[in-house]
Structures are given as C-alpha cells and as structure tokens.
C-alpha cells in the first residue's frame, strides 16, 4: 500500500506571512501541496480582514492546489472549561488551545466570525483544525451545525458528516531548546520515515516558530524527502477525506 503524506502549515496569518512563505517555498521545491491553516481573527496584532493583499496571496496558493482550513478564531485559549481540561490544554498547546474547553454557544460565535472573515477574503472553506488539535464536544457539535465537513486532531482527520476517520498521528516540532527539542526533532524524522515505509498516513505539521530554531527546518526537509523516497503520495487534507466533504 502506498503511503500518503499531508504537510500542513499552521498559524497562517498576516503576522506570520514571511514564515508561511518560506515553508510554502520549501514545499514547492518538492513539488507537493500543503494544507494552510488560517487564523482569521486577531493574532499577534494583525487581522486577515485588514490585509486584502495577503488574502490574495492565499487565494493564489489555493488556486495552485493547496488546501485552506480555518484554524480557530484568535488562536488563544480563554478561561472556559474546568481546571483539569484547561491544564491539559495548556500543557499540550501552550495557551493556544482555543477550542479545547468551550461550550457549543461560544464555539458557534467564534465559528460564525471566522466564516464571515474567510468568505469576505474569498477563502470560503469547510475544513477546520482546532488550535492544538484540541476540540471540546461542544466545539465538534458547533462545527457540524456551522456546515464544516472535515476536521483534524492529534490522531487523524475526520469527515464530520459520516464520522469516518483517517488515522495518522500529527508529527511536529516543539521549539524551546534543550533535550526535548532535540529528542522531538529526531523522533519526527524517524517516525515519518517508518510510517511511510509501512504504507501509513504521514502528517507533518509546520509552524512559524520552528524557523526560529537552528536545525528544525533542516530536519523537516529531511523527513519530507525520506517520506517521498518511499513512493508516498503527497495530498492535502481535503483530498484525504475525499468527495464526502463536497
């Protein structure tokens, strides 16, 4: 069975335009598409709605074959949820798990705002990846009600209409220095190659902050190269979940 590779670029927003461009250029050199996870709301002092030129760049990427998904609203977790759920979300996503503990009403408001911005930017989509890959039951309910048709978690992608799941753990770096960063980088490269050799689904998640750490980009590029050398087919999340999202 031929392995499949999904490369996603996270935290796509005006404030990370340079980093996104660099990751996309790397993908272009491999000749593979990427799934762009867009933060439509305020993030690091800038908003997609205020920068139509950047929205135009994203439209060009999609027209060339990339996927576009909503990646939360502001990518910042609030005070919602009980203490254990907030603690887990903070440990996993470092304060970015915006949808991890919210109720259906709060999620509905955020999704409505995100959808309006994406439509106004000419980037309508029914794909959603929650920040930190964490979504509460209420958030999942709101996604379905809002018309989203596919989403992702740490463990794979899901068709929201049918419940069908596509299993594959999301591999990403954890910048911060020290042994954990080095161990994580080595694990990413090894796990990606071995999963591809078994014919599995390889998911590589690229973040703007990865580029601030020496060596992480090189490790990522080696991992992509190793996966492609096994004969893996590079696709987007929309292609992965297939026609059921239409």
pLDDT tens-digit map of 162-203 = 999 999 999 999 776 566 788 889 899 999 999 999 999 999
Question: Where exactly are the structural domains of the chain?
Answer: 4-245
Residue 56 has pLDDT above 70, yes or no: yes
Of 2-16, 95-109, 141-155, the least confident: 95-109
CB-CB contact of 216 with 210 (8 Å): yes
Task: CATH number for 4-245: choose from 2.40.50.140, 2.70.98.60, 3.40.50.150, 3.20.20.370.
Answer: 3.20.20.370
Structure tokens at 168: 């594959």
- Residue 26's SS3 state is helix
pLDDT class of 90 with cuts at 50, 70, 90: low
The length of the chain in residues reads: 246
Name the pTM for this structure: 0.92
Q: Over the stretch 97-116, which tens digit does the pLDDT of each residue have?
A: 899 999 999 999 999 999 99
Whole-Å CA distances, 206 to 13, 20, 81:
14, 9, 28
Strands 127-128 and 150-153: parallel
pLDDT class of 205 with cuts at 50, 70, 90: very high
Whole-Å CA distances, 207 to 22, 47, 58, 245:
11, 18, 17, 26
Strands 35-38 and 4-12: parallel
Distance of CA 244 to the CA centre of its chain: 20
The overall longest dimension of the chain from CA atoms, in Å, is 46
Better-predicted residue by pLDDT, 213 or 149: 149
Which residue, among 173, 208, 204, 166, has the nearest Cα to 39 in the 3D structure? 208
Fill in the DSSP letter of residue 16: G
């Amino acid at each position: 069975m031929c392995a499949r590779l999904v490369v996603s670029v996270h935290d796509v927003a005006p404030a990370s335009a340079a980093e996104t461009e660099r990751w996309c250029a790397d993908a272009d050199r491999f000749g593979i598409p990427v799934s762009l996870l867009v933060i439509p709301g305020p993030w690091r002092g800038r908003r997609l709605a205020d920068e139509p030129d950047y929205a135009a760049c994203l439209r060009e990427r999609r027209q060339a074959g990339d996927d576009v998904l909503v990646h939360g609203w502001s990518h910042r977790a609030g005070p919602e949820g009980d203490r254990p759920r907030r603690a887990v979300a903070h440990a996993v996503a470092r304060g970015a798990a915006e949808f991890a503990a919210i109720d259906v009403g709060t999620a509905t408001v955020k999704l409505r705002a995100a959808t309006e911005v994406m439509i106004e930017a000419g980037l309508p989509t029914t794909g959603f990846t929650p920040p930190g890959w964490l979504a509460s039951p209420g958030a999942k309910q709101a996604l379905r009600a809002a018309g989203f048709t596919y989403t992702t978690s740490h463990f794979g992608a899901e068709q929201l209409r049918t419940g069908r799941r596509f299993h594959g753990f999301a591999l990403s770096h954890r910048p911060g220095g020290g042994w954990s960063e080095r161990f994580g980088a080595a694990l990413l490269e090894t796990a990606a190659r071995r999963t591809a050799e078994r014919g599995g689904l390889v998911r590589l998640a690229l973040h703007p902050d990865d580029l601030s750490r020496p060596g992480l980009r090189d490790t990522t590029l080696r991992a992509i190269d190793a996966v492609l050398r096994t004969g893996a087919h590079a696709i987007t999340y929309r292609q992965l979940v297939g026609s059921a999202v239409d």
